[in-house]
Amino acid sequence: MTQQIPLFIDGAFVQSESTTLIPVTNPATQEVIAQVPCATDAEMESAIASAKEAFEDWKEVAVSERARLMLRYQALLKEHHDEIATILAEETGKTFEDAKGDVWRGIEVVEHACNIPSLVMGETVENVARKIDSYSYTQPLGVCAGITPFNFPAMIPLWMFPLAIACGNTFVLKPSEQDPKTPTRLAELLVEAGVPKGVLQVVHGAKEQVDKLLTHPDIQAISFVGSVPVGEHIYRTGTDNMKRVQAFAGAKNHMVVMPDAQKNQLINNIVGASVGAGGQRCMAISVAVFVGETREWIPEVRDALAKVRPGKWDDPEAGYGPLISPQAKQRVLNYIQAGKDQGAECILDGTECVVEGCPDGNWVGPTMFRGVNTDMTIYTDEIFGPVLIAIEVDTLEQAIELINECPYGNGTSIFTASGAAARKFQHEIKVGQVGINVPIPVPLPFFSFTGWRKSFYGDQHAYGKQAVKFYTETKTVTARWFEDDIHSGPNMSINLK
């Protein structure tokens, strides 16, 4: 009998009463490995009500105790690291090494949440006016919610609920219906760490369940990671319903290749950054901008990409796994065909990729184009597959202009040996996350994930100090204590005296 993924409501893992079940398939074989329910309206209401009730107690728990919960949780995540990675690899198709990285980057955020006492400290100034002091507190918002994508089923949920909970909020998580087993295991370990009943809820479903979270009056804040059109819908709907929203959307990340770059390092990095995880990363490098004579390196990059072989998660020789679904595969194939039809030169074609023993897998081999212009759909759209586009320019200034004209601003990088070129690039580029000789510049958790422009809707970003601000409200107190009962008459001015 196929496993049905449970809901986690009011401190218990329960089987949904929903008759609408979504199959969870192994993307390498199409075998159905589980079914995920679309939570009923009553179940959604129960989860939100439980989180609202739990908040009244949880917000009063000492911040040091909340930190200790996170300390216990990160220890359990480390203890079960490889187990979680195995679950993750089986349902996403990621290679085991890539799955371990997914889990570990999430653990790093939980480690950051262990520092919550210092992260939520307020400020104070004595004698802002004579014998008047001012000080501020950070206080939790209430019930928060997270909507997470398929491509990082451990890391991105761990971007959200640990910090929100550590700040004193309760949380409703709606993970991707395509790989729900991993976030379910994350919830089980949080229970083992001692999280009180109702502090975390996990519900499953699709658009109907997401819209319930976006419009429910008891949800105070929404965190989302996904595509551009959905991200815009999440942001507009959430904010129209008076919620605080952070919505991470699409990307088109460029890597600039300068003539003084170390060529072998550049090639190794561009291969991993472009087709690693099958290109299913919002920080994947999908455009390589070759400056000047580095255009002569394009055939060597193509040859290096051609050596990468996709395969099953437990194949130690596999460079990456299958795409998440047949629909995702077809979408990528459609983009590749569009590139050919619009006149781009396909110098490496992965459309006929096969993997021995897995004829039904969602395989797309490494693919590379050159002769691309910025009007082609393979350039304008996020492909989310193992496709690298080569664009050739004459100068660094032209490369910067090209990137700044792109509507996305998630990540970019430059490979160079010149400090002056790197300084110019990092200063002038209109992108939130910049790598210098680093291909995928995802910040560590004590910074924040800072996509710009069409890659992000909202004000405060994920993890780091900005996430603490996102999940809290500031209360400022102005206080005076009278030493005697001297009557000086009313103060009719706004000035403090």
Phi, psi of 334 (to 5 degrees): -65, -40
Cα distances (angstroms) measured from residue 180 to each of 9, 203, 333, 377 = 15, 10, 26, 32
State how beta strands 456-457 and 244-248 pair.
antiparallel
DSSP E strands in 15-75: the ranges are 21-25, 32-37
**Measured distance CA(346)–CA(435) in Å, rounded:** 28
Sequence-ordered list of residues with C-beta below 8 angstroms from that of 285, at least 6 positions apart, any chain: 253, 254, 255, 270, 273, 274, 388, 413, 439, 440
Would you call 263 exposed, middle or buried from its count of C-beta atoms within 10 A (0-12, 13-18, 19+)? middle
Residue 158 sits at the vertex; the CA angle it makes with 248 and 473, to the nearest 5 degrees, is 70
Asked whether 367 and 336 are in contact (CB, 8 A), the reply is yes
Token pair of 32 as six digits: 């159905």
346 noted as active-site residue: no
Compute the residue count for the chain. 497
**Measured distance CA(112)–CA(430) in Å, rounded:** 28
Asked whether 313 and 90 are in contact (CB, 8 A), the reply is yes
Token pair of 379 as six digits: 């350039």
- Options 282, 346, 358, 406, the catalytic residue: 282
Residues with active-site annotation = 282
